């Protein structure tokens, strides 16, 4: 296949990831078919894994998949932060999203992950991931995330699903804010906007997942949250 997939890990490969990200964004500006912001760590490379599909001959980036490895009560799992691919479907680039995903699933065994989950941006994307070739399922109607178990008879606990329930995201942000009244007021002010936008809801969920996955201190979480909210 012309588009070869390489795995990079923050922060060990930060310089390479930044360079490739710059190239990907330049492709977007040239309207080459690659449409994505491939810097989901919000400018700080922490503990994410990046799968980059690139045409070795031309250097063109065909697709990009970013994940974070997390743990809940000793159970490891993978959260997909981003899957971005060229929208040009031809013999060179067709199916690159599936190939990136399959490569990630192969590595999930080595990571020791028991399941993978993601937040579909809209109904079209949701229907796509629920097709047999992707294999994701809905576990609860109040949880918009989709899940792909990697082991037989896996039961994902309700206390974990509770943290993902859409109506709880604002409450989770408030818990992170702690006693910071200014930050809490900012969250409450932006709550209607966040709840009304699936994209911002996903971005907030991603931000919280990165905080948890990177095991930040309470003060570091508040700083990250403050920075995220300032960009809304």
Check residue 94 and report its DSSP letter: T
Residue 196: which of 166, 163, 224, 226 has the closest Cα? 166
User: Which residues, 6 or more positions from 85, have their beta carbon under 8 angstroms from its beta carbon?
Assistant: 34, 53, 62, 63, 64, 93, 96, 97, 100
For the chain, how long is the longest CA-to-CA vector?
55
In the chain, the domains with their CATH numbers are 3-113 (3.40.630.30), 165-230 (no CATH)
Q: What tens digit of pLDDT does each residue of 6-45 get? A: 999 988 998 898 888 888 877 776 655 565 555 544 556 7
Mean pLDDT of the 215-222 span: 84
Rounded to 5°, angle at Cα 154 from 152 and 160: 160
Share of the chain above pLDDT 90, in %: 34
Residue 207: which of 77, 96, 44 has the closest Cα? 44
User: 120: pLDDT confidence band, cut at 50, 70 and 90?
Assistant: confident
Kindly calculate the radius of gyration of the chain based on its CA atoms and give it in whole angstroms. Answer: 18
Is 70 exceeded by the pLDDT of residue 90?
no
């Amino acid at each position: 296949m012309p588009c070869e997939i390489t795995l990079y890990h923050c922060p060990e490969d930060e310089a390479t990831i930044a360079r490739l990200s710059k190239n990907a964004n330049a492709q977007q500006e040239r309207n080459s078919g690659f449409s994505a912001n491939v810097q989901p760590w919000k400018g700080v490379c922490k503990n994410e894994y990046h799968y980059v599909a690139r045409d070795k001959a031309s250097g063109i980036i065909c697709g990009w998949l970013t994940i974070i490895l997390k743990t809940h009560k000793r159970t490891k799992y993978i959260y997909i932060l981003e899957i971005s691919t060229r929208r040009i479907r031809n013999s060179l680039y067709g199916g690159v999203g599936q190939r990136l995903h399959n490569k990630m699933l192969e590595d999930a065994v080595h990571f020791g992950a028991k399941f993978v989950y993601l937040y579909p941006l809209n109904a079209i994307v949701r229907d796509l991931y629920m097709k047999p070739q992707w294999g994701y399922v809905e576990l609860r109607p109040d949880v918009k995330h989709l899940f792909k178990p990697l082991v037989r008879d896996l039961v994902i606990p309700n206390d974990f699903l509770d943290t993902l329930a859409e109506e709880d995201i604002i409450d989770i942000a408030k818990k992170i804010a702690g006693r910071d009244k200014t930050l809490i007021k900012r969250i409450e002010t932006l709550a209607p906007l966040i709840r009304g936008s699936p994209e911002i809801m996903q971005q907030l969920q991603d931000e919280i997942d990165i905080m948890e996955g990177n095991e930040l201190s309470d003060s570091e979480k508040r700083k990250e949250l403050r920075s995220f909210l300032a960009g809304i």
